[in-house]
Chain A
Amino acid sequence: MAESVGIASLPNQKYKLITKEGGEFTIMVAGESGLGKTTFVNTLFQTSLKTAVDNRTRHKRGIRPTTEIDIVRADLEEKNFTLRLNIIDTPGFGDNINNKNSWQPIIDFIDDQHDSFMRQEQQPVRTNKHDLRVHACLYFIRPTGHSLKPLDIATMKKLATRVNLIPIIAKSDTLSPTEILEFKSRIRAVIEAQEIRIFTPPIDLDDEASAEHSRRLIESMPFAVIGSENEYDNGKGETVRGRKYPWGLVEVENEQHCDFNKLRSLLLRSNMLDLIVSTNELHFEAYRTLRMQTGDNTEVNGGITTSSRKFHNPKFKEEENALKKFFTDQVKAEEQRFRQWEQNIVNERNRLNSDLDEIQQKVKALDEQVKALQLKTTKR
């Protein structure tokens, strides 16, 4: 039997290459504050990548925070394979009374990454590309048990056209199993009705097992998760990540308790490559064609937009307009007041002048009388 040519070993060579290179993965966590984003990230990668915001720093930021972008980089190593991980957090999102356009910084950030990657591609030397394109965006939904809020819908609509959006129900340990089912079905209905395109794992028809797995994942979307950084003994001699309540221990990795395992499988174990590929082929391509069609001179244009976009936040614009209006109103009112005063003073001056005239005439008359008297006396 002849030895095979060796073409079949190409995947093995690729495997070695990729193992050496490592991977890069960028994940974004968005959602209102207090939904356990930080804890979730730490739970997902089983390390303390991010620390929770403490009260003092919160006070420093003031009561009216704006949405910020916070990037954490980490190299994770598992079985000699390193993954360069970028985690993008969006503190301050949805914290205001008026949340109109509070999603703008997030959208801007995503667009900026696409833009910068596109310009790097156009450079003559492009070996060291710096890539922060968001591969997956986890949108955290508050476990209200009702439905999606307008803020959620508006933000998800904007995000869905730009990244792989994965909606998740945060802190799901406040909803009982029946409540979760109801909540999920309502969210799914809204997502469908509002035509929000969320990320769904591709169903591979050739591979029965993986297709079944994907179907199961799609069925349980949006994932209800909990997060915890602490480990407890679950009573069977195992230490598990979980939340210890007086009424019981919630296990993060227990399928009965939450969908954490499914989400991790989607994000890391089975569909990470799908996420990366679809970001590149779908979202980045869409952005690129859009830019190529609209902006003819991208290089100059791009430079301007990235720097000037910060100043084009519609929220600032609104505030500016309000301030301007207030200012002009104030000036007008003051001017009106001064005009009134002036008028009064002019009137008063006229009155006094006429008084003066009268008196002067009287004086004149008296003088004349005096003169007449003098004349009389001199005559005598």
Chain B
Amino acid sequence: MSQSFLRYKTEAKRGIKYTIMVTGPSGTGKTTFVNSVLDASLLAHKFQPRGKTIDEPKVLSYLGDANNNYDHREFTPFNKNLEDQTMAITSSSIEISDEDDSKILLSVLDTPGFGENLDNEVCFEEITNYLRQQFDHVLAEETRIRRNPKFEDTRVHVCLYFIEATGHGLREIDVECMKRLSKFVNVLPVIGKADSFTASELAAFKKNIIADIEKYSVPVFEFNYDEEEDDDDTIEENIMLQKLQPFAVISSKEKKTIDGDLKYVRSYPWGDIVIDDASDFLRLKNVLFGSHLQDFKDLTTNFLYENYRSDKLSSVTEEDKKKKNSNDDVNPSLSNLAALTLEESASEPQIKTEELSTPKLNSISQFNRDAAESSPIKEISRAIRDDNQHIISNIKNSPKLTYSPDPSRNKLRVISETVPYVLKHEEILSRQQRLQELEERSARELAQRAAALEKKAAELKKRERLLRSGSIATSLRKEDTLTDLSSILKREDSDI
């Protein structure tokens, strides 16, 4: 038995970790789609009463007023304050076993409340913040000397963005949201509730969406192929899938027996729709869990994450270089980043448990309070006080690292907030340059003066020579003058 085979076995036993996010305006059929794709009741429908059939999802982040805990499971006609902004990101996990014994550990992230507010700006900020945090966690883990064997990669591999079935095209929120998300995740646009379109309407709607995607240059996922490496079938499949984008899906809660098989069906007074046949449902399912699963994972780690990492690190190392120029001014630097991320990851398990037990209040006001208590400047200065040597010692005994619990939570945020400091730093640099210029100018002036003085000295020498030739007598006095002159010249030299 070779070692690689053993590794494969453990890998298969542990299962492939796979994270999907579904987002989009509410009422576009996200929940129903997920449940019918997995053939399970994983996500709860809005206003679905609590029962034993569905596990409560983990709340990963929550935006809103803590006192006015908005719960999407309970229907209240007496609505909360209309201006309130609520949104949550929840995670539900399920195991899927394939025919060949390989397991997929699937996490589905849902975004209840997305697009329901009067002002939806906060919604995609909430999501991008979450996605960025996951990248930061991985980055922190990578920079550690001693890595945590139980570290969980929580990066999201693919995001299904459900487009409202308007029949017109993309709306502002769709464009803006997909643009922002695509920096962190593969975005697949999906038309939800496609049963509101006739065949020709659907074709026109797809055309409009593609035109909009091009016009506003939204970087959605593309089905690419390598003409040299891929075989003909793959190429053909990819071309077909690319043409099919955006996928239009119909999903249902209902099941009916058709030709002996139990299938998901939408039944209307005017006819039944078998969702497998009538829409791109099966194809999308195949893309998600079959043909492109590995592509999504690879792209996330090799492209999106790498880009993020190099951006982040290069922005930080640039500061590091500048630091050498100015010793008086200190900045967060790569060495500090290591310290910061170390502390972050060390405190991570603690935060996790907090998140599990209670929905973490992640509102802006909370953040402001944090910021007020320990301003970023203070934290940076605190972090910087540990100079390089201290950091090295930190790294050496990282597992037993001592850290102050209060600022560690915001440390990574602080790094992302270094941009203003970089700008400030540039300002200081430019000022320094100006000072240098001034100094150079004054040095030049001094040199001119020195030259003038030398001239005078030369004249004096001339005179002295004249004096020498003139009077040979009184040698004692002559020596006297000579010493005097040499001392003058010496002083002039030192001045120059």
Considering the chains assembled together, what is the distance between the CA atoms of A246 and B166 in angstroms? 20
Do A147 and B166 have beta carbons less than 8 Å apart? no
* CB of A95 closer than 8 Å to a CB of B: yes
Contact of B82 among A53, A96, A150 (CB under 8 A): A150
Closest to B194 in A: A174
Do A348 and B75 have beta carbons less than 8 Å apart? no
Q: A35 to chain B: which residues have CB within 8 Å?
A: 166
Least Cβ–Cβ distance between A168 and chain B, in angstroms: 15
* CB of B488 closer than 8 Å to a CB of A: yes
* CB of A74 closer than 8 Å to a CB of B: no
Q: B208 to chain A: which residues have CB within 8 Å?
A: 55, 58
Do B168 and A33 have beta carbons less than 8 Å apart? yes
* CB of A97 closer than 8 Å to a CB of B: yes
Q: A193-B77, A243-B198 are in contact. Are A344 and B118 (CB under 8 A)?
A: no
Q: A97-B120, A186-B47, A352-B438 are in contact. Are A257 and B270 (CB under 8 A)?
A: yes
Contact of B75 among A97, A186, A359 (CB under 8 A): A186
Interface size on B, residues (CB 8 A): 71
Considering the chains assembled together, what is the distance between the CA atoms of A121 and B195 in angstroms? 50
Least Cβ–Cβ distance between B331 and chain A, in angstroms: 18
Do B269 and A190 have beta carbons less than 8 Å apart? no
Do A153 and B82 have beta carbons less than 8 Å apart? yes
Q: Which A residues from 54 to 107 make CB contacts under 8 A with B? A: 55, 58-59, 63-65, 95-100
Interface size on A, residues (CB 8 A): 70
Do B453 and A248 have beta carbons less than 8 Å apart? no
- Give 1 or 0 for each of A306-339: 1 = CB within 8 Å of chain B CB: 0000000000000000000000000000000100
Do A33 and B79 have beta carbons less than 8 Å apart? no
Q: A177-B269, A245-B195 are in contact. Are A340 and B431 (CB under 8 A)?
A: yes
Q: A97-B173, A154-B82, A243-B198 are in contact. Are A192 and B77 (CB under 8 A)?
A: yes
- Give 1 or 0 for each of B439-458: 1 = CB within 8 Å of chain A CB: 00010001001000100100
Contact of A174 among B78, B83, B121, B165 (CB under 8 A): B165
Considering the chains assembled together, what is the distance between the CA atoms of A246 and B279 in angstroms? 11
* CB of A355 closer than 8 Å to a CB of B: yes
Q: A249 to chain B: which residues have CB within 8 Å?
A: 270-271
Considering the chains assembled together, what is the distance between the CA atoms of A340 and B428 in angstroms? 10
* CB of B175 closer than 8 Å to a CB of A: yes
Least Cβ–Cβ distance between A8 and chain B, in angstroms: 48
Q: A250 to chain B: which residues have CB within 8 Å?
A: 268, 270
Do B270 and A348 have beta carbons less than 8 Å apart? no
Do A247 and B168 have beta carbons less than 8 Å apart? no
Q: Which A residues from 178 to 226 make CB contacts under 8 A with B? A: 186, 189-190, 192-194
Contact of A146 among B27, B164, B172, B199 (CB under 8 A): B27
Do A100 and B79 have beta carbons less than 8 Å apart? no
Q: B271 to chain A: which residues have CB within 8 Å?
A: 245, 247-249
Q: B75 to chain A: which residues have CB within 8 Å?
A: 147, 186, 189
Q: A144-B26, A146-B26, A359-B446 are in contact. Are A33 and B272 (CB under 8 A)?
A: no
Least Cβ–Cβ distance between A120 and chain B, in angstroms: 36
* CB of A277 closer than 8 Å to a CB of B: no
* CB of A143 closer than 8 Å to a CB of B: yes
Closest to B473 in A: A380
Q: A98-B118, A150-B118, A369-B488 are in contact. Are A245 and B198 (CB under 8 A)?
A: yes
- Give 1 or 0 for each of B249-269: 1 = CB within 8 Å of chain A CB: 000001000000000001111
* CB of A295 closer than 8 Å to a CB of B: no
Do A150 and B481 have beta carbons less than 8 Å apart? no
Q: Which A residues from 129 to 147 make CB contacts under 8 A with B? A: 142-147
Least Cβ–Cβ distance between B162 and chain A, in angstroms: 12
- Give 1 or 0 for each of B475-496: 1 = CB within 8 Å of chain A CB: 0010001001100100010010
Least Cβ–Cβ distance between B480 and chain A, in angstroms: 9
* CB of A119 closer than 8 Å to a CB of B: no
Contact of A145 among B27, B118, B442 (CB under 8 A): B27
Q: B183 to chain A: which residues have CB within 8 Å?
A: none
Closest to A64 in B: B172
Do A34 and B166 have beta carbons less than 8 Å apart? yes
- Give 1 or 0 for each of B177-200: 1 = CB within 8 Å of chain A CB: 000000000000000010110110
Closest to B457 in A: A366
Contact of A366 among B175, B215, B456 (CB under 8 A): B456
Do B267 and A176 have beta carbons less than 8 Å apart? yes
* CB of B471 closer than 8 Å to a CB of A: yes
Do A96 and B168 have beta carbons less than 8 Å apart? no
Considering the chains assembled together, what is the distance between the CA atoms of A184 and B456 in angstroms? 105
Least Cβ–Cβ distance between A320 and chain B, in angstroms: 17
Q: A177-B269, A245-B198, A256-B269 are in contact. Are A193 and B79 (CB under 8 A)?
A: yes
Considering the chains assembled together, what is the distance between the CA atoms of A177 and B271 in angstroms? 12
Q: Which of A18-26, A286-294, A296-304, A370-378 contacts B (4 or more CB under 8 A)?
A: A370-378
- A-to-B contact residues, CB < 8 Å: 32-36, 53, 55, 58-59, 63-65, 95-100, 142-147, 149-151, 153-154, 171, 173-174, 176-177, 186, 189-190, 192-194, 243-251, 256-257, 337, 340-341, 344-345, 348, 352, 355, 359, 362-363, 366, 369-370, 373-374, 376-377, 380
- Can you name 23 A-B residue pairings with CB atoms under 8 Å? A34-B164, A34-B167, A55-B207, A63-B175, A95-B172, A96-B172, A98-B119, A99-B120, A146-B46, A147-B75, A177-B268, A186-B47, A186-B77, A189-B77, A190-B77, A190-B79, A192-B77, A245-B270, A257-B269, A340-B431, A359-B495, A363-B449, A366-B492
Known: A143-B196, A146-B27, A189-B75. 15 other contacts (CB 8 A): A32-B166, A34-B167, A98-B120, A144-B27, A147-B75, A177-B269, A246-B278, A247-B271, A247-B272, A344-B431, A345-B438, A348-B435, A363-B449, A380-B474, A380-B477
- B-to-A contact residues, CB < 8 Å: 26-28, 46-47, 75, 77-79, 82-83, 116-121, 164-169, 171-173, 175-176, 193, 195-196, 198-199, 207-208, 211-212, 215-216, 254, 266-273, 278, 427, 431, 434-435, 438, 442, 446, 449, 453, 456, 460, 463, 467, 471, 474, 477, 481, 484-485, 488, 492, 495
Q: Which 8 A-B pairs rank lowest in CB-CB distance, beginning with the nearest? A: A34-B166, A144-B27, A248-B271, A193-B77, A248-B270, A189-B77, A247-B271, A98-B119
